[in-house]
A and B are shown apart, each in its own frame.
Chain A
Amino acid sequence: MKKMMITAMTLAVLALAATAFAHTPLCDCFDNGDGTVSCEGGFSDGSSASGVKMYVKDGSGKVLQEGAMNADSEFNFKKPEGSYTVLFDAGEGHAVEINGADIVE
Chain B
Amino acid sequence: MSRKNLLVALAGQPNCGKSTVFNMLTGARQHVANYPGVTVEKKTGFFRTDSGRVELVDLPGTYSLSSYSLEERVARDFILQDRPDVIVDVVDASNLKRNLYLTLQLLEMEAPVVLDLNMMDVAERRGISVDHEGLSRHLGIPVVPTVGKAGVGGKDIKRVLDEQAQKEPEKFFVVDYGVMEPHVQKMQSRVVARMQLPESYPSRWVALKLLENDAEVTKLVTADNADADELVREIERLRSEFEQEAGIPAERHIAFARHKACAGICREFMTLPAEKKASLSDRADRYVCSRFFGPLVLLAILFILYEVSIVFGYWVAGEVWPVWGALETFTASILPQPGFLSDPLLFGLGTWVVKSTTAILNYLPIFFLLFALIAILEDSGYMPRMAFILDRLFRRFGLHGQSTLPLILGGVYVGGCAIPGVMATKAIPDERARLATILIVPMMNCLAKVPLYLILIGAYFQDQGGLTMFFIATVTLFMALPVAKVLSLTVLGKQPSAPFIMEMPPYHLPTVSGVLRRAFERIWLFLKKIVTVVIAVAVVVFVLINFPGLSRERMAEYRAKQEAATATFMKAVDKTGYKGEISADDVLPMILFADSLKDAKRGITDREKAAAVNTSFQQANPVYYAVVKRKGADGKKLNKAYKKVVKLRKKLRREMRTERFESSFLGVMGRALEPVTRYAGFNWRINIALLSAFAAKENSAATLGAIYGIDGSGSVQESMKAGEAGFTPLHALALMLFMALYPPCVPTSIMVRMQSGSTKWMVFSIAYQTLLGLAVATLVFTGGTLLGLTGFQAMWAFYALCVGATVVMAFVPDRQPEKVEIRETCKQDC
Contact = CB atoms under 8 A, between A and B. Distances in A.
A10 B393 contact: no
Given A19-B311, A53-B715, 10 more contacts: A1-B810, A6-B299, A14-B303, A14-B413, A30-B598, A44-B317, A48-B706, A51-B716, A71-B710, A102-B605
A7 B481 CA distance: 14
Contacts of A101: 605
A75 B626 CA distance: 23
B386 to A, nearest CB: 12
Interface string B383-395: 0000001101100
A11 B474 CA distance: 7
A28 interface: yes
Interface in B689-732: 698, 701-702, 705-706, 709-712, 714-719
B317 A22 contact: no
Interface string B265-302: 00000000000000000000000000000011001000
Given A10-B303, A51-B714, A44 B358 contact: yes
Interface residues of A, number: 49
Interface in B375-431: 389-390, 392-393, 413-415
Contacts of A32: 630
A21 B474 contact: no
A28 B647 contact: no
Given A11-B474, A15-B470, A104-B606, A48 B318 contact: no
Interface in B296-335: 296, 299, 303, 306, 310-311, 314, 317-318, 321, 324-325
Contacts of B317: 24, 44
Closest 9 CB pairs of A and B: A71-B712, A51-B715, A102-B605, A15-B470, A45-B359, A22-B450, A104-B610, A50-B709, A45-B698
Interface string A36-56: 000010011111101111000
Nearest to B651: A71
B715 A24 contact: no
B709 A18 contact: no
Given A11-B474, A105-B610, A48 B630 contact: no
Interface string B92-126: 00000000000000000000000000000000000
Contacts of A21: 310, 314, 414-415, 447, 450
29 contacts: A1-B807, A3-B393, A7-B299, A8-B474, A15-B469, A15-B470, A15-B474, A18-B414, A20-B450, A21-B314, A21-B450, A22-B448, A23-B359, A28-B602, A30-B598, A33-B629, A33-B630, A34-B630, A45-B451, A46-B355, A46-B359, A47-B705, A48-B709, A48-B716, A50-B715, A51-B714, A72-B712, A91-B454, A104-B610
A16 B701 CA distance: 24
A50 B474 contact: no
Interface of A is mostly: loop
A20 B299 contact: no
A10 B321 CA distance: 32
Interface of B: 295-296, 299, 303, 306, 310-311, 314, 317-318, 321, 324-325, 355, 358-359, 362, 389-390, 392-393, 413-415, 447-448, 450-451, 453-454, 458, 466, 469-470, 473-474, 598, 601-607, 610-611, 614, 629-630, 647, 650-651, 654, 698, 701-702, 705-706, 709-712, 714-719, 806-807, 810
Nearest to B607: A104
Contact of A50 (B453, B614, B716, B807): B716
A28 to B, nearest CB: 5
Contacts of A45: 355, 359, 362, 448, 451, 698, 701-702
B454 A50 contact: no
B629 A72 contact: no
A54 B200 CA distance: 74
A85 B715 CA distance: 22
A79 to B, nearest CB: 14
Given A3-B393, A6-B299, A46-B355, A24 B318 contact: yes
A26 interface: yes
Interface string A71-97: 110000000000000000001011000
A48 B677 CA distance: 27
A38 to B, nearest CB: 9
Nearest to A10: B299
With a 10 A CB-CB cut-off, give which of A21, A72, A94 has the most chain B CB atoms: A21
B713 to A, nearest CB: 8
A20 B650 contact: no
Contacts of A1: 807, 810
B614 A15 contact: no
A23 to B, nearest CB: 6
B650 A72 contact: yes
B473 to A, nearest CB: 6
Contact of A7 (B295, B355, B362): B295
With a 10 A CB-CB cut-off, give which of B318, B392, B807 has the most chain A CB atoms: B318
A23 B447 CA distance: 8
A32 B601 CA distance: 12
A30 B702 contact: no
A104 B474 CA distance: 45
Nearest to A105: B610
Contacts of A18: 414, 466, 469-470, 473
A51 to B, nearest CB: 3
B469 A71 contact: no
A52 to B, nearest CB: 7
Nearest to B366: A21
Contacts of A12: 470, 474
Contacts of A7: 295, 299
Nearest to B470: A15
Contacts of B355: 45-46
Nearest to B362: A44
Contact of A47 (B414, B415, B451, B629): B451
A25 B775 CA distance: 34
A14 B307 CA distance: 10
Given A10-B303, A14-B303, A104-B605, A47 B450 contact: no
A33 B636 CA distance: 11
A18 B183 CA distance: 61
A53 B714 CA distance: 9
